[in-house]
Structure 1
Amino acid sequence: MNEWDMAVVGYPLWLWTETPAALQSSTTQYGITISMSAVRERVVFAMGDGKSVTCSSMSPLPSGTKPGTPSPDCGYVYEGASLPEGSYTVTASSHWSVAWSALGYSGTVPVVVSASRELPVGELQAVIVG
């Protein structure tokens, strides 16, 4: 997060997931091979303030990035604070296309995986003295 332990109104927030965009697996048991290949098509971030962001590609925040730099492909800027009342619940829903094959059959199924976290969003204010 940052030294304030909150996201800040009007400040660019980078969005990404830790999961790779493609996964593959296969196993053979009792002479039967089952193969699966999953491709993440998009992630929908419900930001908790009534708005959402849909991203087909995401870049993690590189260390050393200048503060205030917006994400090149998946970001958000809050327009209002959640504090002091509480936090926004941010939910990321990853939409996958999973291709499978076994015993000469194959197909594709859609899969959605979601996770949520609480995110306090506040305002920074400056006071000029003197």
Structure 2
Amino acid sequence: MYNGQCPGQPLAGGLRWFQNPPPGYGGGPNLAALAEEAVTKMRLLGADIGIAPKRGGTGTVGVPVWVWNGPSPQTTGPTSASATALGVTVTATASVQNVVWNFGNGTTVICPFPGTPYSASFGLNPPSTANGQCGMPGYSRVGEYTVTATTTWAVHWVGGGQQGDLTTTRTSQAPVRIGEVQVVGQ
């Protein structure tokens, strides 16, 4: 039932039944749109790429390459935000589901965790996903490559008596230069 009034005629109008709400009434806010607004407020980013060989340096052909995602609420999560419309609030929480690392040479590695920063104690051992490490055994050719990290965020939202899930992706890149070790003999 809706109480209708006609502008300029204070006694005109009255209660009226509509099977569906008239345009502009009822239905409440679009909860999925509120969830998207909450995701925007989180300011999610792609991976904060850590890489060995270090940025600005030169790696060596055949030497393992290590990558990791520097942890923060905007790069690994979890992080939350809310959006409100017409008295209904939707709260969304996002966490990284995985990072797909493309090394620019046809090698792709999927890591469901941030990865472990390289330490000199690892030596020339390749990264092992079993140990929470991400990377690859090494480049086979001299060159300059672009490492691309595509982060998939899993988002769960709750509000207005409903809940749902969505995913969103963010991408970041880092250059890596690979050279060769020259042996000088007599």
- Specify the TM-score bucket, using the shorter chain as the normaliser: 0.7 to 0.9
In 2, the alpha carbon distance for the partners of 1:112 and 1:62 equals 25
CA RMSD of aligned residues (A): 2.4
Q: Deviations over 1:75-121 (max 9, x none)?
A: 11211121xxxx21111001121111222222111111101121111
Specify which of 67, 86, 93 is matched with residue 37 of structure 1.
Answer: 93
Partner of 1:23: 78
Q: Percent of pairs identical after alignment? A: 27
Q: Which has the higher helix share?
A: 2
Structure 2 unpaired stretches of 5+: 1-52
User: Residue 62 of structure 1: CA displacement?
Assistant: 5.1
Change (3 A) 1:75 1:27: same
Structure 1 unpaired stretches of 5+: none
Instruction: Give me the TM-score of the superposition, normalised by structure 1.
Output: 0.78
Are the counterparts in 2 of residues 48 and 88 from structure 1 also a CA contact under 8 Å? yes
- Which residues in structure 2 correspond to 1:71-86 (within 5 Å)? 71-73=127-129, 74-76=134-136, 77-82=138-143
Describe the SS at the equivalent of 2:78. strand
Which gives a bigger RCO, structure 1 or 2 (Cα 8 Å, sep 6+)? 1
Specify which of 80, 103, 111 is matched with residue 47 of structure 1.
Answer: 103
Partner of 2:150: 93
In 2, the alpha carbon distance for the partners of 1:88 and 1:64 equals 23
Are the counterparts in 1 of residues 98 and 111 from structure 2 also a CA contact under 8 Å? yes
User: Residue 13 of structure 1: CA displacement?
Assistant: 1.2
Larger radius of gyration: 2
Are the counterparts in 2 of residues 26 and 33 from structure 1 also a CA contact under 8 Å? no
Describe the SS at the equivalent of 2:166. strand
Alignment of 1:114 onto 2:171: yes
Are the counterparts in 1 of residues 101 and 109 from structure 2 also a CA contact under 8 Å? yes
In 1, the alpha carbon distance for the partners of 2:122 and 2:162 equals 51
Q: How many correspondences in the alignment?
A: 124
Partner of 2:38: none
